A and B are shown apart, each in its own frame.
Chain A
Amino acid sequence: MSFEIDVQAFEGTDPVYDIASEVFAAMIDGEPGFVRPWEGAPPAPVDELFAWVDVTGPMNGRVLLSTETTTAVEVTRALLGLAPDEPVVHADIVDALGEVANVVGGNVKSLGPDHSVLTLPEVTKERPTTEGGLLHTLSLDWRGRLLVLSLWMLP
């Protein structure tokens, strides 16, 4: 069975956007209002990082977060409550971006049927395979920086 979420059931709102807003407000910014849908065509990203979790079982899908490394550094700084001039180590950037994908993925999984399993997050500089087809994509503006959340079917 493919990864199916009945978006119509949410009365026109985007449940993925609602989840992302909540994650950023609670964990990253400490208050709501700093993340919104990207207006217009998003710019072509450079030096990207990709973080994802898979949902397997009655439904099989991938929740993928992509952003530029410079944005991942700022997300990490915010998550750890670091000052602007404090150094950020690569292991923490990987950890932080993976956790954001993990929390978003866990909440997306909760929208689907029971008995599914969430994998541990993975983070790479190379785009992971997304052969099964795109289900949903959402470009987010976080403090003027682009993050893209997408849901994919797994073959």
Chain B
Amino acid sequence: MKVLVADDSRVMRQIVIRTLRQAGYDWWEISEAPDGAAALEMVASTHPDFVLSDWNMPEMTGIELLRALRAQGSDVPFAFVTSEGSPEMRKQAEAAGALFLIAKPFTAEIFRETIDPFLE
């Protein structure tokens, strides 16, 4: 399974990837994007099976990325890992077509509990 992790923080991308491995997804082939605009290009060129994105990024935010993907006709499964998990943002994420939103800080257990149901 090809997964794209988008976050403007290299350190946070490393933490997300490490936590995905700890959660048991060590079989995922993970690539990285440093912002929403780069992620949009990478979805078009690499066709990932799943996109895990930060919300607050320069160039293009995560919600703008999701809306751009859907506007282009892409139905790639998409979810957020972000430092804010307010009800307002969760509502926006769901309305735009995100599967779920994981708020930072997160643990491997939270990743497993949230992601596993979508893999069945």
Binding site for B on A (CB under 8 A): 22-23, 25-27, 76, 79-81, 91-92, 95-96, 98-99, 102-103, 105-107, 109-110, 114-115, 118, 120
Contact = CB atoms under 8 A, between A and B. Distances in A.
A27 B56 contact: no
| 5 A-B pairs with least C-beta separation | A106-B83, A26-B105, A106-B84, A114-B88, A95-B11
A92 B83 contact: no
A118 B11 contact: no
State the main secondary structure of chain B at its contact with A: loop
Interface residues of B, number: 23
Contacts, number: 64
State the main secondary structure of chain A at its contact with B: helix
Contacts of B11: 76, 79-80, 92, 95-96, 99
B83 A105 contact: yes
A115 B83 CA distance: 15
B107 interface: yes
B85 to A, nearest CB: 6
Contacts of B105: 22-23, 25-27, 103
